[in-house]
Structure 1
């Protein structure tokens, strides 16, 4: 998995976030869940730390199951006080969580907590505010192909942000371009077979992307 994680870092290197959101959209979501200096922010599936590191003055706990991504988060958080990096499965960490949480974040990692509704319930029991978001299906083909929940089936209310299929496709295209360029420059890439397979599979299902969106909520 580390080779895939490393290649995923390459894919996202030029992107501000590891999901279709742009920074202005993320900041608008964070404004809905203000965190006072010294309060604790928990980011599950934190990746590079992109989200939590946008919150100034908070005590940050970044949890991810990837050493590769946590190493990148460590580099990005260098010089920032009160940052805890935890190598762990999100569900396992949450089960043993103690202490007061001002904001719990789970963007793009709801599968680790048994889906969006389950993740929202679990996080809402442990934090005053929750920022959650992930891919959602707008039709039956996307639900079957990508396993993303139907937006209308979720019990979270109206999302604060919905990025439509064109934004999801743009994100996937950027991912594919970055990885393809890397593979061309590094023909001995250990994860090349997996990456080419992923790119080919997404191209085969390009028409189904018209039913895929990214939605986010502040609870």
Structure 2
């Protein structure tokens, strides 16, 4: 059962959206949810990893690149998706700096079946180390649908620190859509934790403006815990 306080969550979302509208920025701000964990030892406890598809795409402008065969390259061109074929990948020559630069340029990668098998040989471990190893796309799937599915996915992975952040929406979305995304994100993460809600230390929204983090207290999303709403 969710311990998220619905009223507090709705109030927090409304505040962020209203604040953004007042500032009338020329770009659409992404709303990120930061989660802190407790009673976990990254050195001893099993490190979890899991992804969930949200009901609404949080980052419509998420940058994705198709590493494709001839058919997928043609499909990518038609829908305006960035792509690289095998010849373009070969030109990187497993250069660590170039592969790292490629990984930084995109949020995620898709790959054809014939190409994904060659990734380690063509690029080395760079994409994998960046946590951006390509997702397989078959010719039986719609490439456009796969792109939208990728944009709707969020990943939770416990590494060396007990905090993580995921994009749950943007200020142009309907507030109820942001609410639904937050609910699904949090409840999915809790299902991965060894003691569920007992392992959640805090939750707060974050919004970076001109490289600075603006912070304000705004009630509690989780029963018994303080929540920071950053805007």
Structure 1-normalised TM-score?
0.30
Select the structure that is richer in helix. Answer: 1
Normalised by the size of structure 2, how large is the TM-score? Answer: 0.29
Flag the structure with larger Rg: 2
- Where relative contact order (Cα < 8 A, 6+ residues apart) is larger, the structure is 2
Pick the structure with more strand per residue. 2
